[in-house]
Amino acid sequence: MNLILISSTALNKTIDDIIYMNVLIFSIFFAFLIVGYIKWINTYKDFRNALHNKENIDGFLPNGEKLEEVLIRETVNLKNEEKLKEIKELKENLNEINDYVTKWIHEIKIPLSVCELIADEIEEEGLSNIAGELRQELERINFLVSQVLYTSRASSYSEDFIIEEVNLNSIVKSVIKNNINSFISKKIELEMHDLDFNVFTDSKWIFYIIEQIINNACKYVDVQGRIEIYAEEDDECTRLFIRDNGMGIPYKDIGRIFDRGFTGDNGRKTSKSTGMGLYICKKIADKLNIKLEVSSQVSQYTEFTIIFYKMADYFNVTKL
The domains of the chain are located at 2-60, 164-316
CATH code for residues 164-316:
3.30.565.10
Average confidence score pLDDT of the chain: 81
pLDDT reported for residue 33: 78
135-159 per-position pLDDT tens digit: 888 888 888 888 887 777 776 644 5
320 residues of the chain, pLDDT tens digit each = 555 545 555 545 556 666 777 777 777 878 777 876 777 666 667 667 766 766 676 666 767 777 777 787 788 788 888 888 998 888 888 788 878 887 888 888 888 888 888 888 888 888 888 888 888 888 888 888 888 877 777 766 445 688 899 999 999 999 999 889 889 889 999 999 999 999 999 999 999 999 999 999 999 999 999 999 999 999 899 999 999 999 999 988 898 999 887 877 665 565 566 778 899 899 899 988 999 999 999 989 999 999 999 865 555 555 44
pLDDT reported for residue 34: 80
pLDDT reported for residue 172: 97
pLDDT reported for residue 140: 84
User: How is the chain classified by DSSP, letter by letter?
Assistant: -HHHHHHHS-HHHHHHHHHHHHHHHHHHHHHHHHHHHHHHHHHHHHHHHHHHTT---GGG---S-SHHHHHHHHHHHHHHHHHHHHHHHHHHHHHHHHHHHHHHHHHHHHHHHHHHHHHHHHHHTT-HHHHHHHHHHHHHHHHHHHHHHHHHHHT-SSPPP--EEEEHHHHHHHHHHHTHHHHHHTT-EEEEES---EEEE-HHHHHHHHHHHHHHHHHHSPTT-EEEEEEEE-SSEEEEEEEE-SS---HHHHTTTTSTT--HHHHHHHT---S-HHHHHHHHHHHTTEEEEEEEETTTEEEEEEEEEPGGGGGG----
